[in-house]
Amino acid sequence: MTKARPHRTIPPVAPTDPLLDTTVADRYQVRSFAYDEALGRVYTAFDSEESRLVHLKVLAHEFANDTRKFERFGREITATFMVTHPNTVEVLDFGEAEGRLYLVLEFLAAHELSRDLIRGPMDPMIVASVGAQVAAAIGAAHQEGIVHRNLCPDNVLLLDNAVGGVAVKVRDFGLSKLESAEATEGGLTTANTRLGVAAYTAPEYMQTGNFHLKGDLYALGAIMWHMLVGRPPYEGAIDEVLNAAMAGPPPAPSTERNDIPDWLDAVVVALLSRDPADRPGAYKLVQRLEAGAGDPLKMPRCLPLDEDGQPIPDPEADDEASGRTGKTLLVVVAVGLALIVLAGLLITAIALSLLLFQLAT
C-alpha cells in the first residue's frame, strides 16, 4: 500500500483561559489548549491517576444554562460510550466538576484530514484505506443505532504515529442521535435545522430534515470525492451547494482525473446516489473497497506515546531491521563462499585438463 505523505502538525495557538494550569476533578491537570468544538473546548491534560495524557472536553460555561446544548452534550456522552471500535476515539471518563460537564478522551497524536486536503488530490489507495476505516467506524455506530450526522474532513483524524500505513480515528459524535430516542427528543433537531457541513450533507436531509444511517454514507462518499479530486463535490455559497446537491449527484471522480481505479470510482458514485437505498451499507462498503484494493485495508499498527505525547521508538522495527541486515549478510557470505568453491573447482578442472593433455602428448 502507498504510504501516507509526511505531515508536520502545527500546534494551535493557546487562547487565554482560566482552566489552563488547573486540575479538574482532582485528577486531570490541564496543560494546554487543543482545539475548539461547537459544544465546548478541548484541552490536553495529564491524568494523575493513570499517569497518561488525555484530551479533556469541557462544556463551555455559557452553555451551562442552555438546555438544548446541555442535552446534546449529554447525548454525546451516551453515544460515545456506546461506540467502541479501533477507528473511533475512545472515551475514558466523564463527569461534572465545579459546575462544568466534562468528557475525557484518549490522547491522540493526530491531525485532521482537512489539513491534508489543502495540498490537493490524494493517492487513490490512501483514499481507499481512509474510506474503509471510516466506514468501519460508522458501521460500529450504526450497529448501536447511532448516526454520526456531522461526518466531514475535520472529524476524520489521521494518526501521526502510524507505522506502515494510514491510521484513522473518527471523532465528534456531538451531533449524533440515538435512533431509539427519535420519538422522545422533543424536537432537539427540527426539520429546519441543518446540521453538519453543507458539502457533505445528504440531499434527503436538506429536503426533509430526516437524517438516517445512509446519510453518513453519503457524507463519506463526498469526503472520498474531495480526497480524489482536491475539492468538495459542490462549491460556492451555502444555497448554491444545497441546490446543486438536491439537483442531482456530482459527476464521477474519474471525470476529473484519469488514474482512479474503476472499482474505486464506482464505489464513490454509489455512495453519492440520490436514493439512499442505492448506497451500500458501511460493512458492504468495506468489503467492496477491500476486494478492489486486494488488501484488508485495516488500521495499521501505531507506536505508543510517552507522557509528553511523543512516539516511543519502535523496538519491533529495530529488531526487524536487524534481522533483515543479518539475513542480508548471511546471503552475501553464502554467495561469496559458493563463488570461491566454484572458482576452486574451475581451477582444478583446468589443471587436470592440462595434465591429461601433457600425458597424452
Same-domain status, 128 and 267: yes
Q: Check residue 122 and give its pLDDT.
A: 98
Region 293-303: mean pLDDT is 92
81/158 same-domain check:
no
The one-letter amino acid at 245: A
CATH number at residue 159: 1.10.510.10
Residue 128 is assigned to a structural domain of this protein: yes
| Domain, as residue range, for 97 | 23-106
Residue 238 exposure: Cα atoms within 13 Å on the Cβ side: 7
Do 95 and 221 lie in one domain? The reply is no
Same domain flag for 125 and 269:
yes
87 and 151 share one domain: no
Contact 285, 133 (CB under 8 A): no
What band does 239 get if pLDDT is binned at 50, 70 and 90? Answer: confident
Q: Are residues 180 and 244 in the same domain?
A: yes
Would the pLDDT of 36 be above 70? yes
187 and 38: one domain?
A: no
| 87 and 136 fall within a common domain | no
The pLDDT of 191-208, averaged and rounded, is: 72
CATH number reported for the structural domain that contains residue 67 in this entry: 3.30.200.20
CB distance 147 to 179 below 8 Å: yes
Q: Are residues 196 and 283 in the same domain?
A: yes
Are residues 158 and 3 in contact, defined by beta-carbon separation less than 8 angstroms? no
Complete DSSP assignment for 46-81:
EETTTTEEEEEEEE-GGGTT-HHHHHHHHHHHHHHH
- Better pLDDT: 57 or 197: 57
Grid cell 593433455 is found at: 357
Domains of the chain: total? 2
Last residue of a domain, one of 106, 137, 156: 106
Boundary (domain end) residue, out of 246, 264, 293: 293
88-125 residue pLDDT tens: 999 999 998 888 889 999 999 999 999 999 999 999 99
